[in-house]
Chain A
Amino acid sequence: MLLSPADRQLLVDQALALIEYLYVHLPLKRAMHAVDPLQRLRLLRHRSASLSEPAFHAEMVSIFTRLRDLHTNYILPEPLRTRTAFLPFRLEEFFEGQERRYIVTEVKPGTEDTWFRRGVLVTHWNGIPIDRAVELNADREAGSNLDARHARGLAAMTLRWLALSLPPDEEWVVVTYRSRGRVRERRFDWQVFESGLSLGRTDPLAATGDFAFVLGVDAKTEMERQARKLLFAPEAVEMVRQVQQQTDPLLGGGSDAPAPVDFTTVSKLPDVFSFRTIKTPSGTFGYVRIHTFYVPDDSAFVEEFVRIAALLPSNGLILDVRGNGGGNILAGERLLQVLTPQPIDPERFYFINSALTRRICDASPSFVEWRESIAQAVETGAPFSHGFPLLPVERYNDVGQKYQGPVVLVIDARCYSTTDIFSAGFQDHGIGKILGTSGATGAGGANVWGHELLLTMFPGADSPFKPLPNKASFRVAVRRCTRVGKRSGVLVEDLGVVPDEIHRMTRRDVLHGNADLINHAGEMLATMPVHAVTAKVRSEGTSKQVDAVTKNISRLDAFLNTRPYRSYDVVDGTTSIDFPLLTGSSNTLELRGFRNEQLAVSTRIQL
C-alpha cells in the first residue's frame, strides 16, 4: 500500500479541491471548532515527501477528524479500506447513580473463560483507568458533540474499520476487570478480518446511481454495526440469509430451502427492522427498532414499516433508532408521514456557493432549483444557495398516516445524519416525545457524496476530479440541511436534536434487553392520548357508504380527492358517510379527526 510522493500530492490536491470548493460546512467548522483544514493540507503538501507512510495517513486522518464531521472523511487505501480490526468482545457503559461503569456485554464465541465473560466490569485498559482510556480514544474521533465523541470513542476501544480509522498503535491490550469479586487481567490481541458485508447490503463507500445522491450516512457506524453482527450475532446473519432465500425468486425454493420465515414476527428487511409487542408496567405497546436507513429503495422501506406497524398494538409505539448511523435521506423523511396526520414539511438543503457547485448544478437537471441562487451569488455575495427539499413536497405526503397511536422516539449520540434528520422532523412536526440516552443526537445535518460519484459526474481530461491511487478516496458533505416549523432555519449539523427526557442506561438495560429504558418509554406513552379513526366501505347499488369508527375525537372532516366534502361532530362510535354520485374509477377519501380543534388523527382509503 505504499504511496509514491506523486500519489501523496494527488491525494492532498484532491482534498484541497473538495474542502475549498465543495465542503458546505467549512465556514461553520472554522467557527465552531477553530480549525483551518486548508492550511493544514497546504502544509502537508509541502512536507508529505518526508513523512513515513503511517505519519502521512495519520495527518490526513487528523485533518479530517478535526472537522468533527462524520460525513467528511479521508478513506485510507487498500488493503486497509476493506479490513476491520477487532477485539473479541464488546464494551458498553451504564450508570450506577452518577457513576459511569464499563461492562462487557458481548463476547465472541470461543473467547469466554471461567473469569472473563459477559457481565464483567472493566476497570483499566493497558493500565489506564477505563474512563480516561475512553476519553483519549474519543479525542481521536470526529463526533460533533462531546456525547457523540464519547460514544464513538467507546465503540473504537474494540472495533475499528480501517477504511476510516488508523490501525491501533498497540498490537494487544491488557484488560483489567472485576469478576466474582476478584480483580483479574487478560491480554487480547487485535485481529483483522476482511470487512464482509451481510448478504444484500452494499458498501456505503461505493453507492451508485440516484441513491448515491441522497445519502446522509455515517459510513463508519454502519460498517461497524455490520461487523458486530458478524462477531456476536450469527443468528441475525442467518436470518438475513433465510429471508433473502424466501423473498428472492432466484435464490429460494431449492431442495435445501429452510423452513419458511414467519413474517408476523420477522421483518422482510431483517437487517433494517426488528419489532415485537412488549409488556411494560404502564401497558402493552409496540416496539420497533430501526437499525439503519441505509436502503436503496425508500418506498419499500416505508411499505415494510407500514406492514409491521399494523401487526403491533395501536395504543402506542416505541420507535428506537439508537445506534442508527443514517442512510437514505428519502427513507427517513418519507417515513415521518406514516406517524402523523400533519402534512410533512421536509428539510431544506443548501449548497455552498462556489464555481464548482455552480458547475455541478449547471451540468445536471437534478439540481436545477439551486442554479439560480448560486449564479446570483456573484452579485449578492451570499455564502450559500437557497434551500430546497430533495424531492417535491407531495412525495413526503403521498402515503399518509398509517400508525395512529402515540409514539415515543428513542435516540442516542450515535444517531447521525438521516437519523438526525428523521429525529428533527419528528420533533418539528410534534409527532411525539423523544427519550434520549444521551443529551442529543450525533448532529450530522448534510447530504454526503463520495469522490467516486464526483468522478462519474465529471469524466474527461478537464475534470477537477482525478482517479486516486490504491482505492484511497474521500467523502464530503455537499448540501447542508436546516430544520422546519418552530426551528425553521436552524442547522442540524453540530446542534443535533435534544430529547424531551433523558434515561441513563442501567445495568439491566445493557444486559437484559433495555428493560428499564423500555419501561421508561412506556411510562411516557401512557400519558399520551390515543386517537383513532378507521373506515370501512360499503356498496349499495351505485352509491357507496363509508362507516367511520372514531375514538377520542370530537370532529371529523371528510375530503374527497383532496377537496372538502363534509364535516361532522362526532363522539366515540360509528359515523356513516354517504357518497351517492361518485364518478371516476379511483377516488381517495381522507378522514381527518380533530380534538379541541387540533388535528389529531387521519386516515385515507380508496372508494
Chain B
Amino acid sequence: MAKKTASKKSAAKSMKPKAAHKTTAKTVFLKRQEAVEENLGESEPLRNFLTKAGWY
C-alpha cells in the first residue's frame, strides 16, 4: 500500500513541472501578443480604411 501511494505521489510530482511549463509558455505567448498589439496600435481591415480614405 505504501509503495502504491509512493508511486502515485511521484507520478503526481512529475506532472507538476509540465503543467507549470505550459502555464509559463502560455503567459509568455500572451505577453508577446499583448506587446505586439500595443506596438501596432489600432489596425483595421483594408476595405474599411480605403472607404474612409475616399479611395473607392
Interface residues of A (CB under 8 A from B): 1-2, 53-54, 79-80, 83, 85-86, 108-110, 167-168, 171, 189-194, 196, 230-232, 234, 237-238
Inter-chain CA distance A191–B40, complex, in Å, is 11
- Considering only residues 7-44 of chain B, those with a C-beta below 8 Å from chain A are 29, 32-33, 35-36, 39-44
Residue of B nearest to A86 (CB): B43
Provide the bound-state CA to CA distance between A237 and B44, in Å: 22
Contact indicator A53/B45 (Cβ below 8 Å): no
List 15 contacting pairs A-B, 8 Å CB cutoff, sorted by A: A1-B53, A2-B54, A53-B55, A54-B56, A110-B33, A168-B46, A171-B46, A189-B46, A191-B46, A193-B43, A194-B41, A194-B42, A232-B36, A234-B35, A237-B35
- Report if B47 contacts A (CB, 8 A): yes
State in angstroms the CA–CA spacing of A110 and B31 once bound together: 11
B50 at the interface (CB under 8 A from A): yes
Interface contact B35-A238, CB-CB below 8 Å: yes
Return chain A residues, CB-CB under 8 Å to B52: 79
CB distance from B48 to the nearest CB of A (A): 8
- Give bound CA distance, A61 to B49, whole Å: 20
* Interface secondary structure of B, over-half rule: helix
Residues of A within 8 A of B39 (CB): 196, 230, 234, 237
Chain A residue contacts of B47, Cβ below 8 A: 171
Instruction: Tell me whether A234 and B36 are in contact (CB under 8 A).
Output: yes
Bound CA–CA A189/B44 (angstroms): 10
Bound: A231/B42 CA distance, A: 13
| Complex: A232 Cα to B36 Cα, angstroms | 7
* B interface residues, tally (CB under 8 Å): 21
Partner pick for A85 among B29, B46, B56, CB 8 A cutoff: B46
Query: Is chain A's binding surface mostly helix, strand, loop or mixed?
Result: mixed
Q: What's the count of A-B pairs with C-beta under 8 Å?
A: 65
B40 contacts across to A, CB distance below 8 A: 193, 196, 230-231
B18 nearest CB across to chain A (Å): 20
**Roughly how many angstroms separate A1 CA and B52 CA in the complex, as a whole number?**
9
Q: Bound complex: CA of A196 vs CA of B40, how far in Å?
A: 7
B33: chain A residues at CB < 8 Å are 109-110
What chain B residues lie within 8 Å of A168 (beta carbons)? 46
The answer to whether A192 touches B49 (Cβ under 8 A) is yes
Instruction: Identify the closest chain B residue to A238 (Cβ).
Output: B35
Measured CB to CB, the nearest residue on chain B to A190 is B46
Q: Which of A168, A192, A196, A237 has the most CB of B within 10 A?
A: A192
| Residues of chain B having any CB pair with chain A under 8 Å | 29, 32-33, 35-36, 39-47, 49-50, 52-56
In the assembled complex, which residues on chain B have CB atoms less than 8 Å from the CB atom of A230? 36, 39-40
Q: Which residues of B have CB within 8 Å of A108? A: 36
> How distant is B24 from chain A, measured CB to nearest CB, in Å?
16
Report whether B55 and A1 are in contact in the complex, using a CB–CB cutoff of 8 Å.
yes
Taking a contact as CB atoms under 8 Å apart, the answer to whether B45 and A171 are in contact is yes
Shortest beta-carbon distance from A241 to chain B in Å: 10
Q: Which residues of B lie under 8 Å from residue A171 when comparing CB positions?
A: 45-47
CB distance from B17 to the nearest CB of A (A): 24
Complex alpha-carbon distance, A365 and B7, angstroms: 87
Partner of A109, one of B36, B41, B49: B36
Question: Which of B46, B53, B54 is packed against the most chain A CB atoms within 10 Å?
Answer: B46
| Min distance, Cβ A71 to any Cβ of chain B, angstroms | 26
- Report the separation of the CA atoms of residues A42 and B44 in the bound assembly, to the nearest whole angstrom: 37
B49: chain A residues at CB < 8 Å are 79, 83, 192
Q: List residues of chain B with CB within 8 A of the CB of A237.
A: 35, 39
Closest to A54 in B: B55
Chain B positions within 8 Å of A53 at CB level: 54-55
B52 → chain A, closest Cβ, in Å? 8
CB distance from A120 to the nearest CB of B (A): 19
Q: How far is the CB of B30 from chain A (nearest CB, A)?
A: 8
> In angstroms, how far is the closest chain B Cβ from the Cβ of A596?
54
**CA A194 – CA B55 in complex, angstroms?**
17
Cα A517 to Cα B29 with chains together (Å): 29
For the complex of A and B, the 6 pairs showing the least CB-CB separation, nearest first, are A234-B35, A109-B33, A190-B46, A193-B43, A192-B49, A191-B43
- Shortest C-beta distance, B53 to chain A (Å), equals 5
